[in-house]
Homo-oligomer: A and B are copies of this chain.
């Protein structure tokens, strides 16, 4: 039995506080267990410089943790004067994930930047940022559709992400911080509503894993993502 009484293939409760910000074009506070991430989408009416004139849009993300989002306080990256490799890796991942379900030509020459700020971290912050970031993005695009800026929805399908890991030889879904610390293998899966994979990253830290274990982890992840997308839809329906 896991420390928080979950079964191995059971994810933590998720909730979405939509329209969290009075300013952002789309915003949500997502909670996954104790992990809380504020996602705010900002729309800009021009494409990035490097792709001007292609008639397409672009989507990026930025990710950061508040210094005391964790048990031990981390120094601010702004005061250290540089962003860590971990931060950069995560914000590149979120951006790629969000772009994969958007038809960038239908978006037209505009940019959407999704800020994901972790207020409290108990494992799975990057997957929560993707799951919540998708909702912030969708709310921003819904607004563009509603005010007539866009006539056709560029979003192709829903998107969510979850982690799976191997801890003491057991495969566990949706690791919390303590489980993550003890995991020998860590997998992040980003998947769409139709069950297509957007990104899979499976990593052994001082450990390896078999192809068979990989398949089992993917199966766990798929189950979690189906449920998360269900929760996303319910939140959007209740708006």
Contact = CB atoms under 8 A, between A and B. Distances in A.
Interface string A184-222: 000000001001111111111111111100100010000
Interface in A64-108: 64, 66-71, 73, 76-89, 91-92, 96, 99-101, 104
A99 B64 contact: no
A46 B186 CA distance: 28
Interface stretch (A1-9, A34-42, A143-151, A229-237): A34-42
Interface stretch (A10-18, A21-29, A168-176): A21-29
A180 interface: no
Majority SS of interface residues in chain A? mixed
Interface stretch (A47-55, A113-121, A124-132): A113-121
Given A67-B115, A88-B89, 11 more contacts: A40-B68, A62-B67, A64-B78, A66-B115, A85-B89, A88-B88, A96-B203, A100-B206, A197-B209, A200-B201, A211-B218
Interface of A: 21-24, 27, 34, 38, 40, 42, 62, 64, 66-71, 73, 76-89, 91-92, 96, 99-101, 104, 113, 115, 117, 119-120, 192, 195-211, 214, 218
